[in-house]
Structure 1
Amino acid sequence: MFTRRSMQYLPYEEQYNEYCTVYRLTNGDNEPMSKTLLKKYHSQNVEQILEIIKKQGRLPEKLHSVYWNSGRIAADLSEKLEIPFVHSIISNSRGRVKRGAYEPMPEREFYEQEIYDKAQWLICVSDDEAADLMTLYNVDKDKIVVAGQYIHESFVMPSHDPNDFPRLNSTISRGSQIAAAEKYNKIAQPKSYDTFWAQKAFTYIGRMDRNKGLKHIFSSWNMLYNKYKNLCPPLWLAGGSLPEIEMIRSDFKEINPDLTILEQYGKIVWWGCIDPYGLSTVLLRTSVLLTHSLYEPGGRVAVEAMCEGVPVIGTPNGFAKDTITDWYNGFLVKFGDVAELSARMEHFIRQPYLSNTLGQNAIAAAKELMGSWRFIEKHLKCYFDCESSPKDENNAKPVLSHKKINLYPYCISRYSDETIKQFFHKCSGCTAEQLHILTNQNNSSDVYMVKCNNNQYVIKRTYTRLAISPMYNPVRKNEYARNAGKMFKTELQAYKRINSPLLVGYDEFHALLLLKKAEPFYVSSVDRLKLCIKNVLNNCQISKDEREKYIDIILLNDTPDKTIEKLNNEIEDFFFDPSCRFSGKLCWQTAAEMLNYNRSSIPSCIFMVLIDCVKHFSSTDEENTLERLCAVNTDLTFDHVYFFDGQICMIDHEKTAVGEPEAGVARLIHDFIIQQKLEKSMLPELFLAMNEIDGLRVRNLISFVAFGFFHDIIEKNVIYCTNDTENLKILQELMRL
């Protein structure tokens, strides 16, 4: 291995280990030097290496160069010695310039073209960089090997797991260690449901360089700090020498002159250069990793973070572009888009468990990526002249839920097949012949399919899950999790209340439901929609006691926040969602609070329409609705409508509340408008047809449907950062009806 002798006390020749000898070449003074100056020693380095090879008495079989200065040397040696060379890219000049980065050496791209043309194999780290080579340097794709990068063991197996079970000093497999951790974490019983273990920092790891977008990261954090003050997580920055850190500090001071105060109070923490074990430990208390490079051929730190279950907010470059999907394992944000970067960071403030939910997917994504790299295997194939370039396997992205939480105090693990089979036998008296679990990205529960005696069944396991609403709704904004016990009890009582033919049995301790399998009921016409609505209205009775409790609480005229809290505490068999979809009055009060809460995230043109909408539906005359109270499923969509034994049946009753009849069918009509892609001109005819259904007041119905579209617009602007113009048009038409 040849390198430059940059310190005078280092030997010129060193037997590094059994397999490697390091030769240090003389390039000017024995002092650190800018790599931009290395090119002037090119000829001298070639001669020094030739002399060393001559003394060896034999030619190497192959040369391997890393980065372009070494590549120039390898190209010359390859020609002189008539032996092939392999070249590792690291980064390329044309790709940097294309993305707006400063290139201090304009001639570099011409040397790179020569190197890429002459090399036998080109090893790059990411698919993104491979695309640069093909489009910007006209390199044949069969010459390119995407081999990834080496990931240190400390990130694959950190000092403890997310729930604090320590890494075992044992030779047992990683899978066995995880199994041991799951068993240990089941033993710990939470004494409270405080979120202390979920409170973590925003972290940047990398060089202290302006091309890394650090000024944009700080600007985004500073916006959030001004908004949330002490509730804003600290910003940790790891990497860089002290002079480099001082340079970035000066940039930060331009944004916030009180930087020193922020540092004194631990809101900004500089970690400096730390080894992989130290970085791994920092990541253990990281909510989300922030990378915002203008240009990045790889960006190994993103993969290292994902290995530890830390989601990543990155720019669409290198590994981030190859592996990160919004709302799966992190977010991609365009370089310099401070507003979107701040919005994505804000998700983790409003919902601290989001880090764990996306982090579970991040581990799977990192494992898949590292498996496709085959780092050592691909290098060896390049050294030993494989006939064609190693190909990557196109593995499908694993499908995992976005709502699972596996962080103290909500530690979960999947039940064993034996537990599920015992439950099935106890409820049905039959032995399960076939059992398999369904995997669906949108599932909020574990769902098992069972076959027995030519009959099919469904077993549903409810678990505590991530609450999405705190990210855009200020009502009960600190309720970060949906409790499995409450959800299970609400759904079970709903099945019993309507005497559902689907319910076979249940286990309250394990939160398991056994249901007969039904077939989807496709709603493709207004007539079929009306059939569904009539079925819902015929199965929504409540008791006198439930009605009276609800009325007593509603008449207090508290804020939506306090009203929801009292309803959920005092009416046991129902779940009152923070959206307040069950009450026409409360939902529009909540709408006004949501607008105020998300003012900075909604474009002014949309914001003004939404204000008019709130005023319009809040100012309509209140009809006396309390005598019409019933049980309403505020999350009833077409996905929940099935057909069994000649009748329509509804499933998934977890969000059943006491409310107005129109609230229970508004989501169905909302779904119908979207799925049928109804033009706004067709809406009057649709609601005219609803007039034919006994028990519905169309004026109230329009209000509830309008709130559904209002809610969608808020959610898409805040969570998905998209302007929902189609739904806005429908909302405006609903205001005219």
Structure 2
Amino acid sequence: DNSLLSTVRGGSKMERYIVLITMHADPAMAPGYDEWGGTHTYMKELLDEFGKRKIRCLMFTRRSMQYLPYEEQYNEYCTVYRLTNGDNEPMSKTLLKKYHSQNVEQILEIIKKQGRLPEKLHSVYWNSGRIAADLSEKLEIPFVHSIISNSRGRVKRGAYEPMPEREFYEQEIYDKAQWLICVSDDEAADLMTLYNVDKDKIVVAGQYIHESFVMPSHDPNDFPRLNSTISRGSQIAAAEKYNKIAQPKSYDTFWAQKAFTYIGRMDRNKGLKHIFSSWNMLYNKYKNLCPPLWLAGGSLPEIEMIRSDFKEINPDLTILEQYGKIVWWGCIDPYGLSTVLLRTSVLLTHSLYEPGGRVAVEAMCEGVPVIGTPNGFAKDTITDWYNGFLVKFGDVAELSARMEHFIRQPYLSNTLGQNAIAAAKELMGSWRFIEKHLKCYFDCESSPKDENNAKPVLSHKKINLYPYCISRYSDETIKQFFHKCSGCTAEQLHILTNQNNSSDVYMVKCNNNQYVIKRTYTRLAISPMYNPVRKNEYARNAGKMFKTELQAYKRINSPLLVGYDEFHALLLLKKAEPFYVSSVDRLKLCIKNVLNNCQISKDEREKYIDIILLNDTPDKTIEKLNNEIEDFFFDPSCRFSGKLCWQTAAEMLNYNRSSIPSCIFMVLIDCVKHFSSTDEENTLERLCAVNTDLTFDHVYFFDGQICMIDHEKTAVGEPEAGVARLIHDFIIQQKLEKSMLPELFLAMNEIDGLRVRNLISFVAFGFFHDIIEKNVIYCTNDTENLKILQELMRL
């Protein structure tokens, strides 16, 4: 060894280089076939990046195919050496241990021929880490180690570990390495808690994402990628300007109908049986309306193995394959995978333990949400209802429920997908994948880690998928609108972000006065995911919502309304201050204000009565009301009518039977029976305009009076319907105990024009609706609201 050190430390002027040791992952092998996986891609990406940056590298791996050369010049700067371990045929990585000493000697011999020592050693996975640790000691050179996966983390999560001694080798490697490279924060946490590693030597570098996912062959609305070196931002701008999206001839959902997709190795640890079980439940429920399940990856023997597992669940697998409901794509390259993702509704990953999860970020780059398990990579990157969902490994019922969202609401994929793109962009920006590797190699004076910034969760309901394509208005358009309505020139203008807005909201300042501009856009309808009434109306039409709100402002002669633009669906309002409803007296003030501003015309009253008296189903009634009464919007929940809302409640229960625990379901059945049978005397003579979405968030104070905003869901209905949401909010925000409810409704009895029995019914429906929504949408059992609902039944 001393002789070697003196030789390589001679006066050679050869440029510095890195030694990369990856005995089980040859970059020649594509991921997804047999045991070839993400590590093989990782090695290829490093060599590609080294070549671009003119960094010399010697890579050492095992020769596992006779046709691959022992020595290959991968690019101008990188050479791959394939060492002989056994018979030069594919081998399980669990067998590499017995060739350890042989590999150390072979690598030492090749380094000796270089004329100088490498700048740094970099090992990948524990087998290679043992080699690097020995070489580091012999050559007196520090080494960097990439984790890939760790034994204690696998066992902790219930995975099988075929080599129990592995964890002790890992501990030795982690103690000796200068830097430890992880792909996720969750993996870094494993090192600190399970191996007692100092956090200052851990680098979370993320992963490299292939260009085909960052810039796929076409955008979500079919505008092709330009064959140019322009930036992604310029590509998007070009698409917005030049995409020839014709005026929609229909609002058919053909462009939104996509597949459930799994991408990865055909390995039983990947949870494929659970994925198929979940899909099969949905297929049995929806039959031909269930999207197909696509599976990309795997060799034919592996696919046959997984097919046998699937046949245990559904013996008719062959028929499903013939009908195109189950499609096996096999092993395809990044460009092929990118194309598959373009027709994917949601990516399904369900590994017991997945520290990497590169495919999840690849999907997010293309605007595809992801359903993953809450460990490793997915735990750090996926947030429920932001860019996908997290489901515990093996929870087939919840996985099926999350997949079902995308059947009931096909545009959900696009709405969450817009967040997914933003999340992927932020994630890749924070990783600086190659830069962190280079810092580990060449600049070891300080840790190359960055501080992790918490990801903002921006909830929205935007759709930007044909035929519901939108683009944000330019600042100039907004300023011109403001000047036309107010006669003033906008001094300051900014759009509000990081809020749960369902419209674009701009703040404008002029002459020390502040204004709000609201732009209504066609947006995602949430109700189809849990309400069968109008379940195929997947979007809330901007024109209808805007007209309803404008007429409401005019009807109540609101002091907030300054001007409007019907073509662009823009409202200009004076800025008001929130009115905090912190007591029963302030609640009563709000309710009185609502009841004093709810008149409707004789014609509107008569049209409503004519339709209601037909006694049609809620579905047909809603359709007729929205078509024939122009200036109102009748929501599918039917909150405006005491009779219709409880008919709808019964339909919602039946629609979501499988998602609601039996104990809760029985209470809800009793609730429907109770309030359906306590209908008061005819209320049609009391009809008025009611905002069925009036919550505390919509109550403001301006120029000495209470004002309401956001009137998009104004309907014709019973007076109690217009104030029930306020009482619902008051009970929740004040955290009222059920024993306090009688006193609250006794106070409501003091308000002229309110019928308390009707009011209790409408408030109860609000809590009923919450319970259904939380069980179906959020997969949580709402026991607190259930207690309130039971008390309201007693009242």
Q: Secondary structure at the match of 2:435?
A: helix
Q: Aligned Cα RMSD in Å?
A: 1.0
8 Å contact kept, 1:62–1:383: yes
Answer whether contact 1:298 1:317 (CA < 8 A) is retained: no
Q: 631, 637, 640: which is aligned to 2:695?
A: 637
- Which digits, 9 at most, give the CA deviation of each residue in 1:558-605, with x for residues without a partner? 000000000000000000000000000000000000000000000001
Q: 2:259 aligns with which of 201, 205, 222?
A: 201
Seen in structure 2, the aligned counterparts of structure 1 residues 338 and 549 have a Cα distance that, compared at 3 Å, is same
Inter-partner Cα distance in structure 2 for 1:382 and 1:490? 60
Whether the 8 Å contact between 2:456 and 2:498 is mirrored in structure 1 is: no
1:171 Cα offset (Å): 1.6
Q: How many Å apart are 1:136 and its aligned residue? A: 0.9
1:428 correspondence with 2:448: no
Q: Which residue of 2 aligns with 1:480?
A: 538
SS in 2 for 1:186: coil
Three-state SS of the structure 2 residue aligned to 1:632 is strand
Contact 2:680 2:757 survives alignment (8 Å): no
- Structure 1 window deviating more from structure 2 (409-418 vs 188-197): it is 188-197
Moved more, 58-67 or 486-495: 58-67
Q: Which runs of 5+ in 1 are unaligned?
A: none
Deviation at 1:186, TM superposition (A): 6.5
Give yes or no for contact 1:185–1:411 (8 Å, CA) kept in 2. Answer: no
C-alpha distance in structure 1 between counterparts of 2:507 and 2:771, whole Å: 36
**CA positional deviation for 1:652:** 0.3
CA deviation string 1:40-86 (max 9, x = no partner): 11111111111112222322221111111111111111111111111
Partners of 1:575 and 1:631 lie apart in 2 by 11
Q: Structure 2 CA distance, aligned partners of 1:66 and 1:488?
A: 58
Contact 1:155-1:305 at 8 Å conserved across structures: yes
Shift of 1:109: 1.1
Question: Would you say the 8 A contact 1:470–1:480 is kept in 2?
Answer: yes
**Residues 116, 297 of structure 1: alpha-carbon distance in 2 compared, 3 angstrom cutoff:** same
Pick aligned residue for 1:361 from 419, 427, 439: 419
The aligned residue for residue 391 of structure 1 is 449
In the aligned structure 2, how far is the partner of 1:28 from the partner of 1:230? 52
**Range with bigger deviation, 268-277 or 318-327:** 318-327
1:330 aligns with 2:388: yes
Q: CA deviation at 1:212?
A: 0.4
Rounded to whole Å, the distance in 2 between the matches of 1:339 and 1:120 is 45
Written as runs of structure 1 = structure 2, the 5 A alignment for 1:268-347 is 268-347=326-405
Secondary structure of the residue that 1:187 maps to in structure 2?
A: coil
Question: 2:588, 2:748 within 8 Å by CA — same for their partners in 1?
Answer: yes
User: For the Cα contact (< 8 Å) 1:399–1:439, is it kept in 2?
Assistant: no
Q: 1:709 to 1:186 in 2, by over 3 A?
A: farther
Residues 312-331 of structure 1: per-residue CA shift (max 9 Å, x gap) = 00001222100111000000
Shift of 1:133: 0.8
Stretch deviating more after TM superposition (301-310 or 29-38): 29-38
| Secondary structure, counterpart of 2:113 in structure 1 | helix
* Superposition deviation, residue 440 in structure 1: 3.6
CA distance in 1, matches of 2:287, 2:551: 43
Tell me if structure 1 keeps the 8 A contact 2:270–2:351: yes
State the percentage of identical aligned residues. Answer: 100
Is residue 680–residue 758 contact of structure 2 (8 Å, CA) maintained in 1? no
2: CA distance, partners of 1:515 / 1:368 = 34
Alignment CA distance shift 1:399-1:113 (3 Å): closer
Change (3 A) 1:87 1:78: same
The C-alpha deviation readout for 1:411-452, integer Å capped at 9, x for no partner, is 101100000000000001111111111114310000111111
Matches within 5 A, 1:585-664: 585-664=643-722
Give the Å deviation of 1:621.
4.0
CA contact (8 A) 2:643 2:679 kept: no
Match of 1:51 among 90, 109, 116: 109
Query: Residue 468 of structure 2 is aligned with which of 407, 410, 430?
Result: 410
Kept in 2: contact 1:576–1:656 (CA 8 A) = yes
SS in structure 2 opposite 1:56?
A: coil
CA contact (8 A) 1:535 1:648 kept: yes
Contact 2:642 2:758 in 1 (8 A): yes
CA deviation after TM superposition for structure 1 residue 396, in Å: 4.1
Question: After superposition, what is the alpha-carbon deviation per residue over 1:535-575, rounded to whole angstroms, capped at 9, x for unaligned?
Answer: 10010000111001000000000000000000000000000
| 2:185 is equivalent to residue 127 of structure 1 | yes
Cα shift readout 1:654-703 (whole Å, capped 9, x = no counterpart): 00000000000000111111111111111111111111111110010000
Note the residue ranges of structure 2 that are not aligned, 5 or more in a row. 1-58
Shift of 1:387: 1.6
- Whether the 8 Å contact between 1:123 and 1:147 is mirrored in structure 2 is yes
Once the two structures are TM-superposed, the CA of residue 632 in structure 1 deviates from its matched residue by 0.3
The answer to whether the 8 Å contact 2:261/2:294 transfers is yes
Distance 2:635 2:312 in 1: 44
Distance in structure 1 (CA, Å) of the matches to 2:399 and 2:672: 29
Residue 397 (structure 1) shift: 2.3
- In the alignment, the residues of structure 1 paired with residue 488 and residue 775 of structure 2 have an alpha-carbon distance, to the nearest angstrom, of 50
Secondary structure of 1:663's counterpart equals helix
Contact map agreement 1:186 1:411 (CA 8 A) in 2? no
Give the count of matched residue pairs: 737
Tell me by how many angstroms 1:643 deviates.
0.7
Output aligned runs, 1:86-485, within 5 Å.
Answer: 86-185=144-243, 187-485=245-543
- CA deviations 1:165-203 (Å, max 9, x no partner) are 000001211101101111234753211111110000000
Which whole-Å CA distance do the structure 2 matches of 1:113 and 1:432 have between them?
Answer: 63
Query: Within 1, Cα distance between the matches of 2:67 and 2:680?
Result: 87
In 1: Cα distance, 2:312 partner to 2:678 partner: 50
Q: Cα offset for 1:394?
A: 3.2
The answer to whether the 8 Å contact 1:446/1:462 transfers is yes
Residues 119 and 442, structure 2, Cα contact 8 Å, conserved in 1: no
Q: CA offset at residue 15 of structure 1?
A: 1.9
Q: Would the aligned equivalents of 1:142 and 1:388 in 2 still touch at CA under 8 Å?
A: no
8 A Cα contact 2:436 2:449, kept in partner: no
CA contact (8 A) 1:489 1:573 kept: yes
Task: Report SS of the residue matched to 1:677.
Answer: coil
Query: Quick one: structure 1 residues 277 and 725, their matched pair in 2 at CA, closer, same or farther if it must change by over 3 Å?
Result: same
8 Å CA contact retained: 1:7, 1:30: yes
Deviation at 1:398, TM superposition (A): 4.0
Q: Show CA shifts across 1:361-400 (max 9, x none).
A: 0001111111111111111111114222222233342453
Rate the CA distance shift 1:611–1:475 in 2: closer, same or farther, 3 A: same
Tell me the residue number matched to 1:25: 83
CA distance in 2, matches of 1:489, 1:229: 39
Separation of aligned partners in 2, 1:67 and 1:244: 24
Residue 24 of structure 1 and its aligned partner are, at CA, apart by 1.4
Equivalent pair of 2:642/2:679 in contact (CA under 8 Å): no
CA contact (8 A) 2:295 2:330 kept: yes
Counterpart check, 1:570 vs 2:628: yes
Q: Does structure 2 retain, via aligned residues, the 8 Å contact 1:213–1:292?
A: yes
Query: Does the CA-based 8 Å contact 2:298-2:331 persist in structure 1?
Result: yes
Counterpart contact for 2:146–2:182, Cα < 8 Å: yes
Displacement of 1:124 in angstroms is: 1.1
1:90-109 CA-partner distances (Å, limit 9, x unpaired): 11111111111111111111
CA contact (8 A) 2:210 2:334 kept: yes
Q: Kindly provide the CA deviation profile for residues 480-507 of structure 1, in whole angstroms up to 9, marking residues without a partner as x.
A: 0000000000000000000111100000
Aligned to 1:735: 793
Tell which deviates more after alignment, 376-385 or 631-640: 376-385
TM-score w.r.t. length of structure 2: 0.92
Moved more, 58-67 or 476-485: 58-67
Greater CA drift, 485-494 or 86-95: 86-95
Q: Partners of 1:517 and 1:322 in 2: how far apart?
A: 39
Distance 1:462 1:666, change over 3 A: same
CA distance in 2, matches of 1:263, 1:536: 58
User: For the structure 1 residues 20 and 354, does the alpha-carbon distance in structure 2 shift closer, same or farther, using more than 3 Å as the test?
Assistant: same
Given the superposition, is the C-alpha separation of residues 29 and 187 from structure 1 closer, same or farther in structure 2, using an over 3 Å criterion? closer
Separation in structure 1 between the aligned mates of residue 168 and residue 490 of structure 2, nearest angstrom: 68
Aligned counterparts of 1:727 and 1:2: Cα–Cα separation in 2:
62
Deviation for aligned residue 1:358: 0.4
